Amino acid sequence: MSTATVASEGMTKEERKVIFASSLGTVFEWYDFYLYGTLAAIIGKKFFTALDPNSQMIFSLLAFAAGFIVRPFGALVFGRLGDMIGRKYTFLVTIVIMGGSTAIVGCLPGYEVIGIAAPVLLIILRMLQGLALGGEYGGAATYVAEHSPRGKRGLFTSWIQTTATLGLFLSLLVILGARTAVGEEAFADWGWRIPFLVSIILLAISVWIRMSMNESPAFAKMKSEGKVSKAPLTESFGKWSNLKIVILALVGLTAGQAVVWYTGQFYALFFLTNTLKVDNATANLMIAASLIIGTPFFVVFGALSDKIGRKPIIMAGCLIAALTYFPLFKALTEAANPALAAAQTANKIVVTADPSECSFQFNPTGTKKFTSSCDIAKQVLAANSASYETVDGKGPATIAIGSTTIESYAATGLAKADATAKDAAFKKTVVDALRAAGYPAKADPAKLNKPMVILILSILVVYVTMVYGPIAAMLVEMFPTRIRYTSMSLPYHIGNGWFGGLLPATGVAIVAQTGNMYNGLWYPIIVASITFVIGMLFVKETKDIDIYEND
């Protein structure tokens, strides 16, 4: 029998090494990737200095988005290499690219030193990070799965699934440590480079460990038999028999998994800080606490999937999330900012506007300007976490807050200086009316129910572990060895890079359009529901598949 069919009662030393090496490297890759997103505001000031503060933030986020956009292309490039030359060397290359790119960001001179070359080089490095991440996950998951004994593949690969959460957690810890050590002023000046430079140490450790690893037994066996694919892309996506499985893996598994994952970690943090106005440090600490509580469940659900199947757990996670997001996020508001919840109940807000002036403000790049009186009114209210109803009317939009009515304005055709002055005056008028109606400027720390907030956040993380814990094993089992790396990587990274990556921008657009701060949740609810239906109807259980015979 092959190595994979040797089911040991315990985990051997070699198996522990495989899991540790693959997981550790992937933790470091996610650490590198998240650093940029967390420090985007500071990076914008250093590399987009020639722009105004608002544009600096926009372009720094565009550079961050570039990493997400290229992830599927990284899956194609490195998936092909992994299926042709082997798993070990391919995902050794990905970590070198990722770690090297991150370290260079830490050394890269800013705009004031090298001018326009600074942002150009930064974006190139971000794209290299995205390409590397696109190749890393599929390689690590495939490598571990192909080393796993039968009956324990869900357990073994679930350790890989902890890496994104642990990478986020590690990045938050290093940033917090650097900020504390050098102080806020020095951190904003030069200390932000420290977390990037730390990746040199992480890279050295990862490369040293991965160099000592052996090729996966499944690939080695296939190579010795001369069955290695000469055209993995054609076999994966040019033949309907495999392409239909790729499509099912995307819409019936990874799309729903991605939105549940991003809602439970990123959107929850965004909601706490941007909508509920909890200060960043407190919100990050509460998210970190929920990650500590929830992370072990990746392994729990991975192991459980070996017994009852991958599909029931993933589908249950999608369904439960879709059914409970609204009550959970409303409970989060009551616990984190009770004054905001009370104000929304006591003082309803109504926007009266011409429907033809109201845009769906979907703006994933941050570059589009919305200048109608309706759009401007909704932007200001959404920015101040004020839910509102919209009533059809004529003429310039108006905002009614209790007994106060404020007329909006259109920015079209105004000179930049006039538009800036008018915008500032309008925002002040609206904010003053909101404060008078009881809408708080920020969450009151004295009234913040931290235990309840952490409990709710932990529940959201447990949903993440349900959909994410078993999915690596399932994706590996869906495809034959000769094209496994390529076939599983693309749906995973389209699902997570695009469906998941678009969640914040789509959620903000839905909130601005509908006026309800909870309605951004409709995006993950709808996507998770679609995945549940398609997955239940068309995706087959895979836990009993012998991946050595699946060729």
DSSP string, 405-459: EEE----TT--HHHHHHHHHHHHHHHHHHHHHTT--SS--GGG--HHHHHHHHHH
What is the rounded average pLDDT of the residues 439-453? 93
Contact 86, 143 (CB under 8 A): no
pLDDT band at 2; cut points 50, 70, 90: very low
Residue 6 has pLDDT above 60, yes or no: no
DSSP lists the bridge partners of residue 389 as 350
CA distance 517 to 251: 27
Q: What's the pLDDT score for residue 197?
A: 92
Residue 252 has pLDDT above 90, yes or no: yes
Element (H, E) at 400: strand 398-401
| Residue 404 three-state SS | strand
Tens digits of per-residue pLDDT, 174-197? Answer: 988 998 899 888 998 999 999 999
DSSP string, 257-286: HHHHHHIIIIIHHHIIIIIS---HHHHHHH
| Cβ partners under 8 Å of residue 278, min gap 6 | 272, 286, 336, 337, 442, 443, 448
CA distance 468 to 257: 6
Element (H, E) at 391: strand 389-392
| Cβ partners under 8 Å of residue 422, min gap 6 | 409, 411, 414
Alpha carbon distances (Å) from 314 to 142, 246, 460, 547: 19, 17, 14, 20
Contact 364, 505 (CB under 8 A): yes
Residue 543 has pLDDT above 80, yes or no: yes
Residue reference for tokens 């800080």:
273
Q: What domains lie within the chain, and their CATH numbers?
A: 14-228 (1.20.1250.20), 233-336+462-493+524-551 (1.20.1250.20), 342-436 (3.40.30)
More confident residue, 336 or 94: 336
Tens digits of per-residue pLDDT, 449-507? Answer: 999 999 999 999 999 999 999 999 999 999 988 888 888 888 988 888 788 877 877 88
What is the rounded average pLDDT of the residues 147-160? 88
Q: What's the pLDDT score for residue 45?
A: 83
DSSP state letter for 216: P
Closest CA to 32 of 196, 174, 207: 196
Mean pLDDT of all residues belonging to the chain: 85
- Long-range contacts from 286-290, C-beta under 8 angstroms, 24+ separation: 286/450, 286/453, 286/454, 286/457, 287/172, 287/457, 288/169, 288/172, 288/173, 289/454, 289/457, 289/458, 290/454, 290/457, 290/458, 290/460, 290/461
Residue 3 has pLDDT above 60, yes or no: no
Percent of the chain with pLDDT over 90: 32
CA distance 53 to 60: 11
* pTM over the 0.85 mark: no
Q: Which two tokens stand for residue 450?
A: 């931290």
Contact 19, 159 (CB under 8 A): yes
| Cβ partners under 8 Å of residue 419, min gap 6 | 411
Q: What's the pLDDT score for residue 44?
A: 80
Instruction: Pick left, alpha or beta for residue 47 (phi over 0 → left; psi -120 to 50 → alpha; otherwise beta).
Output: alpha
